[in-house]
Amino acid sequence: MSFAETIEDVRHYLHQNPELSGEEKETSTFLEEFLLEKFPDYKIQRASESYGFVATKTYGDGPHVAFRAELDGLPIQEENDFEYKSKIDGKSHTCGHDGHMSVLLSTLHKLEEQQPTVGTASFLFQPAEETGKGAEQILGDPELIDFHPDALIALHNVPGEPLGLVLSKPDTFACGSVGFRLYMEGKTAHAAHPEGAVNPLLFSKSILDEVMCLPEKTKGFSLATPIALHSGVDSFGVSPADATLLCTLRAALSSDLDWLMSEVRRMTRAIKEIHGIKAELSFKEYFPSTPNNHFHEDIANICANLNRPFEIMQEPFRWSEDFGHYAKRFKTHMFGLGSGLSTAPLHASTFDFPNDLIESGAEIFVEFYNRFLAK
């Protein structure tokens, strides 16, 4: 069996056995054992506060180049019928992280075949990307304090784009996002005497209307999406005292996202002052925008050298990635890799990462290593 066939089998195994964010113990153990068996010269550094780890080998003097993939799946019931579909009810690899991990394994194999004489290569297997916690866990882990590459590269598959098309963009590659939960507690009363109540539903709409207008005031693209409004009980005789509003804020620029968050904080303070009620605000699943400020031209030139189709994105992706956290400390770049015009969308119950992308992604990663070391 060729190594390419072995990696496809590995991806199928990973696809069958998804684990959610923060629960990736078996995935991590499987990958570590595979690496130790196939590539014993690579040193494994395990995170102490998550299931992430880094595999590293120094080939010689020179810069340190790292590549990153994600370990976690999603809480989505898979609806495919092929042999290697998820064996875990309610969990699936419907974002393609099984494929991203496989790309890293293929990249490592190609480097070992090539046996560079210079540089250090690292392969970062990161947990909890889907919740936005994993990158920060890696950056703050005391066991990985020495992980400081000169370049950190990642890719994400992109359904709806031609298979193998490389998509890159200077500046922002993917938007930042955050969810907020605003809990309001007033005063209950009989529905026949609403004047004796302080019913948050009466001003929840005005709050939501104001939130929805905020994107018009930002410098770049931004978006506010209402998610839920919960209040009261199924009793027509009660004017409720509480309401909870959930929304997602999204922006191409982290500065705009920060401003949106500050405006929601301002609204929360105003609710307390004007209506004299309890108002508690919390933010969930913060993802900074993913900037590409260093290696866009390198990726374009690599694609030209490899005769790979390449396209400059006109707008950043609206979805978010926690890869942006790394850009605060390292030089980073993320590019997209088309996974087929007819491939189901990311997070769809029928999504499956195309095996053909494993080789494509690995070749670009290896070429980046060679190009960076030659500078």
Quickly state the pLDDT bin for 194 (edges 50, 70, 90).
confident
Half-sphere exposure of 342 (CA within 13 A, CB side): 0
pLDDT at 57: 98
The pLDDT assigned to 225 comes to 98
CB 338 within 8 A of CB 165: yes
pLDDT by residue (tens digit) across 205-256? Answer: 889 999 999 999 999 999 999 999 999 888 899 989 999 999 999 999 999 9
Q: What is the pLDDT of residues 100-129, one digit of tens each?
A: 999 999 999 999 999 999 999 999 999 999
pLDDT tier at 166, thresholds 50, 70, 90: very high
Question: Which is nearest to 128 in space by CA: 226, 20, 219?
Answer: 20
Domains and CATH numbers, the chain: 3-175+289-374 (3.40.630.10), 178-287 (3.30.70.360)
The pLDDT value recorded for residue 6 is: 96
The 10s digit of each residue's pLDDT in 297-349 is 999 999 999 999 999 999 999 999 999 999 999 999 999 999 999 999 999 99
Secondary structure of residue 234 in the 3-state scheme: coil
CB 324 within 8 A of CB 174: yes
322-to-79, 131, 242, 371 alpha-carbon distances in Å: 27, 8, 33, 26
- Find residue 317's DSSP bridge partners: 174
Is residue 292 pLDDT above 90, yes or no?
yes
For the whole model, what pTM was predicted?
A: 0.93
CB 127 within 8 A of CB 100: no
pLDDT in tens, 197-207: 888 988 888 89
Q: Can you spell out the DSSP letters for 281-319?
A: EEEEEEE--EEE-SSHHHHHHHHHHHT--EEE-SS-BSS
Q: pLDDT grade, residue 284 (50/70/90)? A: very high
